[in-house]
Amino acid sequence: MSSRLTQVLYALLASYGVLILTRFMLIAFYPEAFQSLSISELLLSFFYGLRVDTAVIFTFSGLQILVLLMPVKSIEHPRARKLIGGLWGVAIAVIFVINYADNLYFGFVGRHVMNELKVIGNDWDILVQMAFEAYWPHTLAAIIGSILIITLFVKIFSTPLQTTQSRKQEWMLIPLVIVLIFLGIRGKVTGISFGISDAFAVNKLASGNLALNGTFCIYRSGYAKSAHHDALPKEEAIATVKMLLSSDKTRFPDPEYPLMRKFAPKGNMKNYNVVIVMLESWSAKYVDAFTHNGFKVTPHFDALAESGLKFVNFYANGQRSLAGITAVFTGILPPYGSQSFGEGLELGGLSYLASLADQNGYETISMQSSNRGSFRVDKLSELAGFRHYYGAEDIPHVGKEKGHPHFGAWDGDMLKFLLSNLNSAKEPFLSFAFTSTTHTPYHIPDEKYRIYPHEPNGRGGFLNTMKYVDDEIGNFMAEAKKQPWFDRTVFFFMADHCMGNDLRGEQSAFDTNDTNVLPQNHIPLIVYAPKLFKPATVYTTGSQADMLPTIADLLGWEQPFATVSTSLFDAGADHFAYLSAGDISSLTDGESAVTYNANVFLESIGEANATARLKHSLLGIDTALPYLLHRNRWYKSE
């Protein structure tokens, strides 16, 4: 026998137990991600985690708690209580599954999932396939855990009730319960309710990552439009960013669009062809030409790096493919709180790489080896102005690869298809191609690529697929050199983001030294055009967002554009990389770096004066970019 109150208290303890368990799982999965926290900081972060858990539990179980405490005869019936208690258990089971999946996602990006679910689009089938193939043990564990949770909650509320208080006393308890549920959801008595940026017990990224969980981040990021971007006065912010983007080459033609700029006329255009190849998950640390770790899986890419321009301080603007594509196509990333590219960001008025190319007489081609709609690259390519777009459905299998890749077409087939399209394209042309074979789960097309012990979700599997893609890059470039357009073409090779398994405790098996200031975003960039550039190692700091101004500068385009980036070939510009992932943004000049969580600055790297300048510049970007986008004063198309 038990009372209403004791049943609810037992269920609350079980709810907290489940959420705390998923937090311990996060630490067990990625212990190195939290090594920077001292014991006191760890405990304080756990306390903040309890605040997060309270908000989650009361948000999704508050109604069940209230109903179960009401002294109403119909709710005293065992069937009614088991039903309502079971619904509470279902809610906690769903939270458990979300947090479990989020823990796995954390290994790829080093943070919790946020509003990415809104932009998955046509890729649900891929996620389901991954869940029941590559991650089936985790899926099975989540299913078993859910069943046990629901069973536990039904059992708690199956116990016969024993009334120990009068009905009047029980009704008097209800207003107090309502207030407690309300406060639990808000997390605060006054002010704005407890949010993602409030979860940092100390100014360390690890602290917030430990306190937060996937469920809280997903539904709290739904309030994204209320994000504050007012750290600096608007005019000061605009002036700060304008100074950051200015150089002797640039002009700002329209005061109504204060950060829209163009390059001063050169007197002649250089109609070089442009080929951009974006490589799935190629961290710089695995490319020997960049970090000299001796993996020996990229000999062809290394040869290109040594005979072209090798940019060793180049960064991915984000941690997901969509961020990299957005940066290359538009030169910006969505400010925290705004919609993603393809989901509304474009309504603020953006400049697009392919549209500028089209205005300058270029034929434009975009493709990926994944299916057409994967990552919505079909829609994003259309928005960005590409005239032709192709996906795996369009790419024939003409190579010697055995079996089928996990996603779409083999990269070798896509690169052959790209070459065929370039051969038939009208010059000048600009093309973008995005690979996929190095995306987990890793499949190799032949045993000759089994250089390391192959794991579908491990680093060895990644390196083996990297070796395959490197061979295909070598084949592609060997054939490209035979074509009449080769001498008039500039090739850009870069990654979309870093490899996502770097938090999974495999450091003992692989030496992965990377001394760059933000190694988690450090990717390779090769600019290859032997008739135009002598081989050189370039230390200029840059990011994917630099592609638009860099190409416009290189080719002599005179149309205006608007980006949070500068040309890599502009010697008079301030060179920087602005990086963003959810509510976390960073700014680096290659030697120093600062990180901001939409509320306070976290870790800073470098000399005090340098980090102070970076902080002011980052706040300027964080204020000016959303302000101008929201007021449609970012870019005006001609």
As a whole number, mean pLDDT of residues 84-92 equals 96
Q: So what's the pLDDT on residue 195?
A: 78
How far apart are the two ends of the chain, measured CA to CA in Å?
Answer: 76
Q: Work out the pLDDT band at 348, boundaries 50, 70, 90.
A: confident
Half-sphere exposure of residue 438: CA atoms within 13 angstroms, side-chain side? 33
Strands 309-315 and 525-528: antiparallel
pLDDT at 1 over 70: no
Note the pLDDT tens digit of each residue in 612-623: 999 999 999 999
In the chain, domain spans = 4-226, 270-569
Strands (DSSP E) found in 319-459: 363-368, 388-390, 429-434
Q: Work out the pLDDT band at 124, boundaries 50, 70, 90.
A: low
For residue 364 the two structure tokens come to: 């434009």
Cα–Cα distance for residue pair 149/151, rounded to 1 Å: 5
Q: So what's the pLDDT on residue 452?
A: 95
Q: Work out the pLDDT band at 314, boundaries 50, 70, 90.
A: very high
Q: So what's the pLDDT on residue 338?
A: 82
- Please give the full DSSP string across 471-501, using - where no structure is assigned: HHHHHHHHHHTTSTTGGGEEEEEEESS--TT
Q: Work out the pLDDT band at 465, boundaries 50, 70, 90.
A: very high
Report percent pLDDT > 70 for the chain: 93
For residue 485 the two structure tokens come to: 């357009």
Which secondary structure element, helix H or strand E, spans residue 379, and what is its range? helix 377-383
Note the pLDDT tens digit of each residue in 25-54: 999 999 988 988 999 999 999 999 999 999
Q: Work out the pLDDT band at 342, boundaries 50, 70, 90.
A: confident
In one letter, which amino acid is 633?
Answer: R
As a whole number, mean pLDDT of residues 220-233 equals 73
Q: So what's the pLDDT on residue 502?
A: 60
Q: Work out the pLDDT band at 206, boundaries 50, 70, 90.
A: confident
For residue 233 the two structure tokens come to: 């006065």
Cα–Cα distance for residue pair 494/408, rounded to 1 Å: 21
73-82, 341-350, 411-420, 626-635: segment of lowest average pLDDT: 341-350
Cα–Cα distance for residue pair 520/510, rounded to 1 Å: 16
pLDDT at 126 over 80: no
Q: Closest Cα partner for 210 from 45, 22, 43?
A: 45
58-67, 249-258, 265-274: segment of lowest average pLDDT: 265-274
Q: Closest Cα partner for 290 from 312, 308, 274?
A: 312
C-alpha dist (Å) from residue 127 to 25, 346, 356, 423? 21, 27, 35, 36
Q: Mean pLDDT score of the chain, rounded to an integer?
A: 90
As a whole number, mean pLDDT of residues 8-19 equals 96
In one letter, which amino acid is 33?
Answer: A
Range with top average pLDDT, 318-327, 501-510, 541-550: 541-550
Cα–Cα distance for residue pair 527/277, rounded to 1 Å: 11
Angle between helices 39-69 and 4-29 (to 10 degrees): 150
Output 69 or 560, whichever has higher pLDDT: 560
Q: So what's the pLDDT on residue 32?
A: 86
Length of the chain in residues, anyone? 638
Cα–Cα distance for residue pair 58/584, rounded to 1 Å: 26
Q: Work out the pLDDT band at 170, boundaries 50, 70, 90.
A: confident
270-569 homologous superfamily: Alkaline Phosphatase, subunit A (3.40.720.10)
Please name the residues in contact with 273: beta carbons below 8 A apart, sequence gap of 6 or more.
Answer: 422, 427, 428, 429, 430, 485, 488, 489, 490
For the beta carbon of residue 194, count every other beta carbon within 10 angstroms: 20
Q: Work out the pLDDT band at 437, boundaries 50, 70, 90.
A: very high
pLDDT at 122 over 80: no
Q: Are 26 and 106 in contact (CB under 8 A)?
A: yes
pLDDT at 226 over 60: no
As a whole number, mean pLDDT of residues 217-238 equals 80
As a whole number, mean pLDDT of residues 345-354 equals 89
Q: Closest Cα partner for 341 from 315, 357, 322?
A: 322
For the beta carbon of residue 124, count every other beta carbon within 10 angstroms: 10
Q: So what's the pLDDT on residue 101?
A: 92
Q: So what's the pLDDT on residue 145?
A: 96
As a whole number, mean pLDDT of residues 593-597 equals 95
Q: So what's the pLDDT on residue 508?
A: 45
What is residue 63's DSSP assignment? H
Report percent pLDDT > 90 for the chain: 68
What is residue 522's DSSP assignment? B
For residue 413 the two structure tokens come to: 């087939």
> Helix (H, G, I), strand (E, B), or coil: what is residue 408?
coil
Q: So what's the pLDDT on residue 285?
A: 94
